[in-house]
Every structure is written in C-alpha cells, then in structure tokens.
Amino acid sequence: MLRPIGHRDGVDCGGVDPGVDRGEVATTTCPSCGYTAPVYGGSVESRFRASAECYAAYQELAAYNLTGGRRDFIHQEAVDAYAAQHPGPPAKPMATWFGLVGLHLALDLGRTGREVQQAHMRLARRRRHWPELAAPADLTGMVVADVMQQPADDTRDDALWRWAGEVWEHWAAVHQVIADLCADQGL
Ligand SMILES: [Zn+2]
C-alpha cells in the first residue's frame, strides 16, 4: 500500500520528538478521497470537492504530465481519475460523467489519452443535460498524492494507472450505464 506524501514517519526531525511534532502539525483531510496532509497554506481554489492540499497535489501531477516529451497524453487519465474521485459541488455533474467515460474508454477499451480527449469533445457537442450521479459511499484508497510520491519515470505512470483503476472500481454500480452511453454515442 502506498502512503500519501503527508505522512511524516521516518522524517528526520532534528531531535524533536516526532510524536510531539506530529501532534502540533495541523492537517487537513480531503472530503472525497480522504488524503490527509499537513496544511499547505496555498491560496488556489479547488474546482473540485477536495482539500486545498489534495488539489495542490493534483496540480503538481498535471504540471508533470504536461511537460514536454510525455508519452501519449497520459494527462487525460489523471484528469478523469481525479474528477471521478472528487464528485459533487463545486464540480458540475458533467465533470463526473466525463471522468467516468474517460476511465471506461481508457481502461476497458484501451483508448489513448488523445482519443479520450477527442471523445470528450464529441460528447460535449452532442449532449447537454447531465443528471447528478449518486456517488459511491467510499472513494478513499489510493490518492493523487500517492502517484506524485513515485519517482518521475515509468514508476509514476504505473502508479497513475493503478490509481485510475481503483477509482474506476469504486464506481462499479454505474459501469454498465457508462458503457452503454459510450456505445450509444459511438465513442
Ligand atoms: Zn482528494
């Protein structure tokens, strides 16, 4: 089991009692994925139902995935996994649907990030109404910070795919609905 960045175990605390230190560090827990981390103090407003610390880790991963030379637009996979793990306001229902469509296309049908991106654009043009999806009671488990904690090579990409797979499994109750939508729309 991977551990979030925020865990402080094993950190050299320079003689300070780690127990005392841990007790004094203010932490936040993401209301969606459960990621617990020391308060980051950033001012970026999350576009998802997420703690600022969780959203900051997502932005780090996005920046990494969008740097030059990254293969096959893997960024799309992170966008979809994050949206599917953080449903509800301030995100619109459409964001959750699109995340799930993307996960299905990539994980079940083997589509590339670029192909998923194009499918999203086609879907956005065709359909306007997206009802609220009933979110799974539990969306905790692997989180975006676990992916960012991995070395910046294939190891991190592999972790991204594991994370996306876990998020998709949480939504097992709507797998058929999503698959039918994609089939109906010829995606
Ligand atoms: Zn989160």
Average pLDDT (127-149) is 94
Predicted pLDDT at 70:
67
Put residue 69 in one of left, alpha, beta given phi > 0 → left and psi -120 to 50 → alpha. Answer: left
Q: How far is the CA of 106 from the centre of ligand 1 (A)?
A: 21
Cα gap 148→56, rounded to integer Å: 11
Average pLDDT (142-167) is 96
pTM of the entire predicted model: 0.85
Predicted pLDDT at 64:
92
163, 150 Cβ separation under 8 angstroms: no
Q: How far is the CA of 153 from the centre of ligand 1 (A)?
A: 23
Question: Can you read off the two tokens belonging to residue 82?
Answer: 């994050």
Q: How far is the CA of 183 from the centre of ligand 1 (A)?
A: 30
Output phi, psi for 139, to 5 deg: -120, 15
Q: How far is the CA of 52 from the centre of ligand 1 (A)?
A: 9
Q: How far is the CA of 79 from the centre of ligand 1 (A)?
A: 13
Across the chain, what does the average pLDDT equal? 87
Cα gap 8→72, rounded to integer Å: 34
Q: How far is the CA of 72 from the centre of ligand 1 (A)?
A: 25
